[in-house]
Chain A
């Protein structure tokens, strides 16, 4: 069973993405990143990307992550804040420890494409 299936396929992943964005945009420290964003499209792209990387059908048509986040100047501290919101979503939805680690492995592969400053040592 793929991670895609364990997360509840497209419906499960869309639910998680919606929950996650609710948390992120409600965070005063992060809201400025989304001032000009088309949130519904962002959520669609995010869900499509997650479906694809977790083993579901390929349907992601957005930009690559580095291009998508270029110019936003996302700091390591803010990235970590977003990670915290993702923890909130995953625990709220009852995602299991192994699947969280699998999501983490996928996430850490892309961290450097998102954060605009070099990763801290350690």
Chain B
């Protein structure tokens, strides 16, 4: 495999922006019309994903040790789309045709490299999917509670038909009949429970078709589908350090799951949870947070508001408030929220002298596609 040549080819296609994925999917549907039904009605949110994922694979193709678990995760996850082994050659042929189309210097040698690489990727994904046949490709889950907590935030309680094992802090993809074949990622706000309930915090966002449907369209009694868990903010199993949890907005969900895990499984440790919102009105989960504080002496919750001059709470961006209350040099730190919040918090913690390897993060982007091709949103 000539990796530099492959990267050069990929870069040429990527340089054409939206044109390359459009060409790819058109080629795929023209040559294998049966694949059309695997994709959502509107491809608008779909097209750039494949190339983003491919870009990740290409960037990491010389690190097979790191790449293989990523591909296995992807292969397992693709079972929920109804992807079967027979679809892989179709995608491979259209991928090569696309790369050839956008690369005037395409030749048999680079074609051979891409063929070899794609076959390897497909093989790892198919084998991982086959090995996972004992578990469901997705889990049906009934909505048993749907609470609109603010104008755009809903807290959902679901009960899965089959038991669904995941680590607190991980993410699950969700699909609703209101938006068929669009899967979006959310983190359960609780550790797995014997009664199979899963709590999700969903914020409706402009241009986020699934979140908007889950907040505004979903009702008690509806059934949604959950994909297998991936990545996320998993607690370091080898550490019993005290914890600092930092959340912006609905980034509260994964850190609340971690609090739940500490409460159920230990080890006993101090937990400080900082929650940042714009205004007091955006504190959508106060009743439960107060209950947790009362039940657990080891837990302290601090709320910060960034745009609420009237509020008696701490003022400022959450990262700023966290650092003001430091130092946190003895803590493991978990940060979840939108990109700017996470970046700002990480930068401030680093500037305060906290070693980078103590900090784990998960970014909640609008209309989150996947945590990323690592199967993780964690850096």
Listed in ascending order, the chain A residues whose CB lies under 8 Å from chain B are 80, 83-84, 86-88, 90-91, 95, 97-98, 100-105, 107-108, 122
A sample of 26 cross-chain residue pairs with beta-carbon separation below 8 angstroms, ordered by A number, consists of: A84-B27, A84-B97, A84-B100, A84-B101, A86-B30, A87-B26, A87-B101, A90-B30, A91-B19, A91-B26, A97-B25, A97-B26, A97-B29, A97-B36, A97-B43, A98-B36, A101-B29, A101-B30, A102-B33, A103-B30, A104-B30, A104-B31, A104-B32, A104-B33, A108-B31, A122-B89
Distance from B39 Cβ to chain A, minimum over Cβ atoms (Å)? 8
Task: Decide: A83 near B31, CB < 8 A? Known: A97-B36, A97-B43, A98-B36.
Answer: yes
Instruction: Point out the residues of chain A lying under 8 angstroms from B23, CB to CB.
Output: 87-88, 91
Determine whether B3 belongs to the interface, using a CB cutoff of 8 Å to chain A: no
Determine whether B22 belongs to the interface, using a CB cutoff of 8 Å to chain A: yes
In Å, the complex CA distance between A97 and B22 comes to 9
In Å, the complex CA distance between A98 and B97 comes to 20
Task: Decide: A87 near B36, CB < 8 A? Known: A97-B43, A122-B89.
Answer: no
Distance from A45 Cβ to chain B, minimum over Cβ atoms (Å)? 21
Instruction: Point out the residues of chain A lying under 8 angstroms from B22, CB to CB.
Output: 91
Instruction: Point out the residues of chain B lying under 8 angstroms from A108, CB to CB.
Output: 31, 33
In Å, the complex CA distance between A95 and B97 comes to 19
Residues 22-56 of B, flagged 1 when their CB comes within 8 A of A and 0 if not, give: 11011101111100100100010000000000000
- Kindly list the 8 A-B residue pairs having the minimum CB-CB distance in the complex, ordered from nearest: A101-B36, A101-B33, A104-B33, A104-B30, A101-B29, A105-B33, A100-B29, A87-B27
Distance from A119 Cβ to chain B, minimum over Cβ atoms (Å)? 12
Task: Decide: A83 near B30, CB < 8 A? Known: A91-B22, A91-B23.
Answer: yes
Chain B residue nearest to A105 (CB atoms) is B33
In Å, the complex CA distance between A90 and B43 comes to 16
Instruction: Point out the residues of chain B lying under 8 angstroms from A101, CB to CB.
Output: 29-30, 33, 36
Q: Which of B1-34 contact A (CB under 8 A)?
A: 19, 22-23, 25-27, 29-33
In Å, the complex CA distance between A97 and B181 comes to 15
Distance from B307 Cβ to chain A, minimum over Cβ atoms (Å)? 42
Instruction: Point out the residues of chain A lying under 8 angstroms from B101, CB to CB.
Output: 84, 87-88
Q: Which of B70-116 contact A (CB under 8 A)?
A: 89, 97, 100-101
Are B97 and A100 within 8 A (Cβ)?
Answer: no
Chain A residue nearest to B47 (CB atoms) is A97
Query: Secondary structure at chain A's binding surface: helix, strand, loop or mixed?
Result: helix
Instruction: Point out the residues of chain A lying under 8 angstroms from B26, CB to CB.
Output: 87, 90-91, 95, 97, 100
With A100-B29, A101-B36 given, name 18 new contacts (CB 8 A).
A83-B27, A84-B100, A84-B101, A86-B30, A87-B101, A88-B101, A90-B26, A97-B25, A97-B26, A97-B29, A97-B36, A97-B43, A100-B26, A100-B30, A101-B33, A104-B29, A108-B33, A122-B89
Instruction: Point out the residues of chain B lying under 8 angstroms from A105, CB to CB.
Output: 33
In Å, the complex CA distance between A100 and B25 comes to 10
Are A80 and B97 within 8 A (Cβ)?
Answer: yes
Distance from B91 Cβ to chain A, minimum over Cβ atoms (Å)? 12
Distance from B132 Cβ to chain A, minimum over Cβ atoms (Å)? 24
Distance from B85 Cβ to chain A, minimum over Cβ atoms (Å)? 11
Instruction: Point out the residues of chain B lying under 8 angstroms from A84, CB to CB.
Output: 27, 97, 100-101
In Å, the complex CA distance between A106 and B23 comes to 19
In Å, the complex CA distance between A3 and B29 comes to 15
In Å, the complex CA distance between A91 and B20 comes to 11
Distance from B66 Cβ to chain A, minimum over Cβ atoms (Å)? 30
In Å, the complex CA distance between A80 and B100 comes to 12
Distance from B83 Cβ to chain A, minimum over Cβ atoms (Å)? 16
Distance from B181 Cβ to chain A, minimum over Cβ atoms (Å)? 12
In Å, the complex CA distance between A105 and B33 comes to 6
Instruction: Point out the residues of chain A lying under 8 angstroms from B32, CB to CB.
Output: 104
In Å, the complex CA distance between A9 and B169 comes to 54
Q: Looking at A80, A100, A103, A105, which has the most chain B CB atoms within 10 Å of its CB? A: A100
In Å, the complex CA distance between A87 and B22 comes to 10
Instruction: Point out the residues of chain B lying under 8 angstroms from A90, CB to CB.
Output: 26, 30
Distance from A78 Cβ to chain B, minimum over Cβ atoms (Å)? 13
Distance from A23 Cβ to chain B, minimum over Cβ atoms (Å)? 11
Chain A residue nearest to B27 (CB atoms) is A87
Q: Which of B178-220 contact A (CB under 8 A)?
A: none
Instruction: Point out the residues of chain A lying under 8 angstroms from B27, CB to CB.
Output: 83-84, 87
Instruction: Point out the residues of chain A lying under 8 angstroms from B25, CB to CB.
Output: 97
In Å, the complex CA distance between A107 and B31 comes to 8
